[in-house]
Structure 1
Amino acid sequence: MKSHFKTLILSLAITGFMVCNANSKKPNLNLVEVDKTFIHPNPNKQYIKVALLLDTSNSMDGLIDQAKAQLWDIVNELSYAKCRNEKPNLKIALYEYGNDRLNGDEGFIRQVLPFSDDLDDISKELFSLTTNGGNEYCGQVIQTSLNQLNWGNNPDDLKLIFIAGNEPFTQGHVNYKDAAVNANEKDVTINTIFCGNHNQGISTFWKDGAKLTNGDYMAINHNQRTVHIASPYDYEILILNQQLNKTYIGYGTKGRAKAAEQAMQDTNAISYGNANAVKRSVSKSSHFYKNSSWDLVDAVENEEVVIEDLKEEALPNELKGKSDAEIKAYVIKKKLERENIQKQIQELNTKRTKYISDNTKTKNNNGLENAMTKSIKEQAKKKQYTWD
């Protein structure tokens, strides 16, 4: 009887392992006991995990500028991805390396942000980066990101490293080949972006650094100015963005500060022009924009907060002294307002995208964005991800 039960459990485990990844390893047929890590606890929770490793030495001002100016293009492109008709979540981690201000004993490397789905935090940290001369240790920063970040073991997850810089890939005490071995063990693909001449990147081993994990090697002009194209729909989207911000209900210790940060990242986006601010507005209308740690609408929606359990001091001024029923009604009202505004932004963005496509004779070549989105799409196909 016991052997029959184990056989049944094994069959169920193998069935549960039939996931989106066409290249997943075959199940271990020697398994007879249930391993709780074998079946992903929630198969509909796929993640696109991107670790962005940026050289912040003196010559990289243009690269950092591109990262700031093109973040929302990248986020928006990823928001259209699907796996098994489910929309995956997005987590982005950020490292800087090659900056003399960083700790030399740690390889002039700093984890700026661990994997995060807080798009405002990601934008904030990108805008905090500054450059300074230094030593660029590519192998060590890759290995550090592999060691420090929680890559997980869901075979559906798309796990990618993008490292950008312009010094030889062989510098430092950690061999990039050893880091690549570890990346393969974790199912992480390393993509290299050389900031400079294509052939120079090959001769300094940037292409080899990508090849070892079947990643992509790319060379970009990191000093190229980002092009944002205006459309007749931009003004209306920006007005809707202002209305969207008013649907957020800050609560708890983070509420007020995070609402202010939301507005600050709007300001940072518009510093690269109205068209870039529009792209951030589009990102804020997508499923990637999550704020349950400080916004009551998202927190209730995700069942992370029970209104009856909230203390008076955690409530914003407009809800103090209100009954639970009144608070619930207010949250529902703001939720419906938000959904309506986000829908309008998405509809206008469809028209905006078509307008830009119809009125642009030459394809934009925004270096970092094009390099990343092209690689992500190609590598996502291996795991049967699709794009709307």
Structure 2
Amino acid sequence: MDGLIEQAKGQLWKICNEFIKAKQKGVAPEVQVALYEYGKSSLSGESGWIGRIQPLTTDLDKISEELFALKTNGGEEFCGWVIKDAVNELEWSPRSDVYKVIFIAGNESFSQGPVNYADACKAAINKGIIVNTIHCGTETEGINTKWKDGATIADGKYLVIDHNRAVVSIEAPQDKEIAQLGEELSKTYVAFGAAGKAGAERQKGQDANAAALAPASGAVVQRAIAKASANYQNSSWDLVDAAKDEKF
């Protein structure tokens, strides 16, 4: 599963950019992301070896920071339980016109654990939350171990990946210029208040994390694009973003 985490590190900003492209009545959405870990034996068995790392947030650098710090050490993967927790614990919007989705990935049986996966997936879609499943293995194995069934129940998509194979991004002629503009953009932030120093350091750290990944991942370019979008929002520590808020 370490390979899966490495893929997620490289694809985080690309995934966020896909959502940023979406429009509803001509308006770009506000993207919020949460992060859970599960199937980790160092976590409490009473909680199903599940941990909520980050609740729903617009702070994409915080998600990146936590993702780069994430480690695995093996354990039982209780898919139904972690879906149930995500549905019940996170502050999902009650609005029907908001796109709400859970992405869950793993390489063991989807039906493990005391919480019935079908019940958890039904509860999710009843609240308007789609469940997309990502099986790390062969397509047939994922079907036989109920990963496809979970997605079908919750109106989601069933995906299969080779988690030990790096995702390759084809370099475009403009990529170097975009990456350079991303570096220049970072110089325009003005840290303020109690959270200013930590926020600026976190941003710098995630710039470095993206740069440390293989160039073929395209992470640096995708991060630069994300930072230039309306959804890269740092009003809690950046004076420029904060000044856009009428309540500031």
In the alignment, does 2:125 pair up with 1:181?
no
Partner of 1:291: 234
Cα deviation for residue 238 of structure 1 reads 2.5
Distance 1:304 1:261 in 2: 25
Cα deviation for residue 157 of structure 1 reads 0.4
- Contact 2:125/2:155 (8 A) holds in 1: no
Distance 2:159 2:111 in 1: 17
Partner of 1:96: 37
**Larger CA Rg, structure 1 vs 2:** 1
Amino acid at match of 2:191: G
Partner of 1:301: 244
Distance 2:109 2:222 in 1: 35
- Of 148, 153, 157, the match for 2:98: 157
- Of 188, 191, 201, the match for 1:260: 201
Task: Give the paired residue count.
Answer: 246
Partner of 1:281: 224
Secondary structure of the corresponding residue to residue 82 of structure 1: coil
Distance 1:292 1:261 in 2: 14
What is the root-mean-square deviation in Å for CA atoms of aligned residues?
Answer: 1.2
TM-score, scaled to structure 2: 0.96
Identical-pair percentage:
49
Cα deviation for residue 169 of structure 1 reads 1.1
Partner of 2:89: 148
Partner of 2:12: 71
The correspondence of residues 303-342 of structure 1 with structure 2, limited to 5 A, is 303-305=246-248
Structure 1 stretches of at least 4 aligned residues deviating more than 3 Å after TM superposition: none
- Of 47, 59, 62, the match for 1:118: 59
Cα deviation for residue 271 of structure 1 reads 1.0
Q: Deviations over 1:274-305 (max 9, x none)?
A: 54212101110011100000011111111242
Secondary structure of the corresponding residue to residue 102 of structure 1: coil
In the alignment, does 2:112 pair up with 1:191?
no
TM-score, scaled to structure 1: 0.62
Amino acid at match of 1:268: N
Partner of 1:84: 25
- Contact 1:69/1:272 (8 A) holds in 2: yes
Partner of 1:380: none
Distance 2:16 2:205 in 1: 18
Partner of 1:224: 165
Cα deviation for residue 78 of structure 1 reads 1.4
Cα deviation for residue 240 of structure 1 reads 1.8
Structure 2 spans left out of the alignment, 5+ residues: none
Q: Deviations over 1:158-179 (max 9, x none)?
A: 1111110011111111001111
